[in-house]
Amino acid sequence: MINPYQKTGVIACGYTVAALRSETQIKPVIGNRDWHHVAWGTSEMPGRLPMAAYLTLKLNAEIIFFGTGASQVDGMWEAEFSRNHLLVNFDNLYSFELFKEFNDYGYHDRIYARNMVFDRSEIDISCQNTYEEIYNALRSFAKQDIKNAVIVSNPSHTPRISKLASVINRSFFKNHFIVMVVPCVSDFADKDQTLIFEPRSGPGRLPKVNPIKVFGEFSEVPTDKQPNCLKEIQAIIVKHIV
């Protein structure tokens, strides 16, 4: 749990705008990996941005951090697009179940809330991946004596976020931060499509091979070829089971 007597910063993890449905995109991404599904979500299944905005207001956060500069659409970097999309659609947040407690907000309260998120926004387009995004955010937080770091992402992403944040906090900031990783509700993977490889616990040497490096590439296989790919993988696995 975060320390209520310490300053808080919120990280709204970026999601590639290459997954944005737009007229300018030749091959739009559809389904659960679409940008709107992952980053915005729906009133019943809020994505990264609504959850980050909610926590910024709820926790009176000093900063809401947006990264990265790893993708671009219509002349805007990923972080810029995410922040702008949130502000342009800010009034739509009040249709989310998550924001029901703010239903008594009048016009001026909503303007104040939007301005608060705008004023406390920090955009970082220098980071190119999740690791750099977390490191840059924590570095910025440390400069402002922020000790609570709340990181928002999708459920399938949060295990990796937790590991990276722990390593970065320990290695570079001497565990200065209390880190809390908060999953939003929308996700980019169906519950039956998520595979987690737990490292072996207990004594003995760890295996030298990393299955994630192999199976992580499966998502890049064209959808129509995935069934046959799985059959071939299964046949190989069966062959090597002793």
How far apart CA 60 and CA 62 sit, in angstroms, is: 7
Identify the bridge partners of residue 178 per DSSP, sorted by sequence position.
Answer: 148
Same domain, 74 and 22: yes
Same domain, 95 and 214: no
Q: How many helices (H) and strands (E) does the chain have?
A: 8, 7
Which of the residues in the chain have pLDDT under 70?
A: 21-33, 190-208, 210, 212-213, 216, 219, 242
Same domain, 217 and 112: no
Q: Which residues touch 180 (CB under 8 Å, ≥6 apart)?
A: 1, 2, 148, 149, 150, 151
What type of residue is 238?
A: V
- Is residue 112, in this structure, part of any structural domain at all? yes
Same domain, 95 and 201: no
Same domain, 207 and 152: no
How far apart CA 196 and CA 174 sit, in angstroms, is: 29
Same domain, 132 and 29: yes
The pLDDT value given to residue 193? 59
Tokens of 212: 């994630």
The pLDDT value given to residue 222? 83
The pLDDT value given to residue 198? 58
Q: In the β-sheet with 178-183, what is the strand arrangement from edge to edge?
A: 121-124, 63-67, 8-12, 148-153, 178-183
Same domain, 219 and 121: no
- Is residue 2, in this structure, part of any structural domain at all? no
Same domain, 149 and 206: no
CATH number, position 117? 3.40.50
- Is residue 220, in this structure, part of any structural domain at all? yes
Q: How many domains does the chain divide into? A: 2
Query: pLDDT tens digits for 88-103?
Result: 999 999 999 999 888 8
Angle, CA of 202, 207 and 211, to the nearest 5°: 115
> In this structure, are residues 183 and 154 in contact, taking their beta carbons and an 8 Å threshold?
yes
What type of residue is 233?
A: I
Domain range spanning residue 169? Answer: 8-189
The pLDDT value given to residue 218? 75
> In this structure, are residues 127 and 83 in contact, taking their beta carbons and an 8 Å threshold?
no
- Is residue 3, in this structure, part of any structural domain at all? no
What type of residue is 157?
A: H
